[in-house]
Chains A and B, each alone.
Chain A
């Protein structure tokens, strides 16, 4: 009986929803053509079955889709419903598997006839023909973030949040066919037009995920990642690129113009590890960094990717919400590691490499290792990368600070903690979109983000002990004179986010750099109120000076190759760049993605030498 009445109620509800959708469409005065464009109407003139304009519809799995307003610890933001802490398991990424072939086969020119959204030909396809092919789909899924919350209608790569992990190798070019099957109905936030950025691949512009090169739902886009070292076509042709520019930990995320914050928050991000003959993923070879193994099992995978994000859930519906009416930055009050709220990880008493990433949208972190039984202890570990680029040597640290999009690889030796429980604790106070207050909280005063129990049995450890000061890559030289020095001020004028007083414009490349040239960019924040994690695509830079001082690694690591400048209050950072090997358009932007979406971004372009218009002025 109960089941029958349940079914009747369901039918009744569906009828009601269909009527409501029709009424709303009529009221919205949408033309048939507009509805088709919005994906609400099939070509036969039928309303798309499961979802209408009203978000009180269901997805295919039968779960309610809704959302709306909110923002967590900010104004206009009721807090998330309670969830029990440390009751669910930490999960590793799924490793993305290649396919034997793509159909239709990839083409250098855009295959628009087959539904490709690309408009620019691949510039390096012939030189670096792809050796592996992948196919990935962006669509709405049902994601379990916590047992106390309903399944979430998040936007996914291959049905997962975070999306799968690519295991790539230098010298092995790949091509990814990236399908957009996202729905028009967003449940409150998100835009079903996308452009996937591989942060911070040395990638030709047309495959980089440039914010203005987006594609529509129903289209695909072939992204060609040559997986080459910077210098491959310029300064280090004979060596196949500069080994000292090797990168290790990259991530991918949506970069849709004006909608990046919504789409990434909604789930469109994942990671990408890049190995070579030194950073091999096998602790018995190369630099002897902890093994990646099979990538999934506790007894084999000691090279573990971790993405940190913060989200708000509606207190009534239990579903993810986003305050899209916020220009400052959005903070969540639930903290997720690899898409799970407050998970627990079990580890062996041995060394692990953790690859940490802050996916934002607007929060900064400073992670410490906390032992609740000994709060006075200084629990040191080793940072081996900045922004995913191995430093010359490991640096012993007590904490790592990350702005949005920053990555850090760390080595933690759990052999000294056998039988104990530790927490990765964020102790950096932040109360709004302006950035952290500057207050670093005491032990156990912050938010314990990941619980780590060292209770798995002892197991072999062939990885290098970072305390022996192993050497990785040298830093590339930074003494040759730059062709030009440019100044960029990240500003807020009447609440309008600007770079040098101007705003994002897809149609204007404000900076033109000459292919294979060196430039110095001074990135400045003249505000004591706001912080901006500034990201420049394509090549890594090094700090020449920060606030007039040579960068140091004490107390926080500053030396190394970076692609994000965590531009703190009143900071002036002098950065040195090369722009090598490929041509085309790239952005520079604030990676507080709410600022980015509100125009704190500019387009710069690598031009072939000798092309008129290569500007040498300050933009």
Chain B
């Protein structure tokens, strides 16, 4: 039985309809390939990524608007985001400043086809008002959304996005929080990350990798125009 493929099996069984479970012991080797036990899931990789990594929790923007994390902020978008908190005296100010420079370099694409978010790790303290003040202080300008929410939702988001430390003591220390930026293209499932303190000009080039073109640094014969340089 081990080496039979589904087509052979159908022949042997006299064209019995493919009922779930009937063929579970049949090997996946051969032309048909897929074991029937894996046929009926109905979920795309994109849906699985959303389920596993982008909990659709309700957040509040620094402008007081309620938004759903996946539906409103991630789905169908090219995004750049990080985790921070307003009274962070460690890496946050430098990273926020860097993101401001990234935003400036990306120009009018921000808010049009690239979306920027900063999510607080101290939602108890960082009310929309506090975040609005933080955004003003950093000259964040329009189209860069600062987000707060229920502490348990933020924690879930942080865990699912992997902004964690495997050492539980360090993980609990907010001053040691992960200073990476996440960037990606949700419909294309292109996800990457880079340090928030990397050179902003280079961060912009890295974001360029998920825009769907390759404008740098190795312009070849089919180099594309209009990308981020």
Contacts and interface: CB of A to CB of B under 8 A. Distances in A.
Interface residues of B, number: 79
B197 A113 contact: no
Interface stretch (A27-35, A236-244, A474-482, A606-614): A27-35
A326 to B, nearest CB: 5
Interface in A478-503: 493-498, 503
Contacts of B217: 212, 506-507
A333 interface: no
B18 interface: yes
B221 A112 contact: yes
B213 interface: yes
Given A119-B219, A258-B192, A495-B178, A147 B17 contact: no
Contact of A494 (B39, B167, B179, B191): B179
Contacts of A494: 90-91, 176-179
B48 A115 contact: no
B221 A598 contact: no
Contacts of A28: 76-77, 186-187
B220 A216 contact: yes
A144 B198 contact: no
Contacts of B198: 503-505, 599
Interface stretch (B60-68, B125-133, B154-162): B154-162
Contact of B29 (A1, A147, A259): A147
A498 B195 contact: yes
A598 B203 CA distance: 11
Contacts of B165: 495
B46 interface: yes
Contacts of B44: 54-56, 66, 68
B164 interface: yes
Given A54-B44, A68-B52, A114-B221, A6 B18 contact: yes
Given A28-B76, A507-B202, A149 B180 contact: no
Interface in A240-286: 257-259
Interface in B164-203: 164-167, 176-180, 182, 186-199, 201-202
Majority SS of interface residues in chain B?
loop
A179 B93 CA distance: 44
A37 interface: yes
A219 B194 contact: no
A465 interface: no
A55 B224 CA distance: 25
Interface string B1-31: 0110000000000011110000000011100
Interface of A: 1-3, 5-6, 24-25, 27-30, 33-34, 37-38, 53-56, 61-70, 75-76, 81, 87, 110-119, 142, 144, 146-151, 184-189, 191, 193, 212-216, 218-219, 257-259, 314, 316-319, 321, 323-328, 432-434, 493-498, 503-508, 529, 597-599
CB-based closest 9 A-B pairs: A68-B48, A69-B52, A495-B178, A112-B221, A188-B45, A117-B220, A56-B44, A496-B195, A318-B38
16 contacts: A28-B76, A34-B212, A37-B212, A38-B188, A68-B189, A76-B162, A116-B221, A117-B218, A144-B28, A188-B45, A188-B48, A327-B178, A433-B166, A495-B176, A496-B196, A497-B195
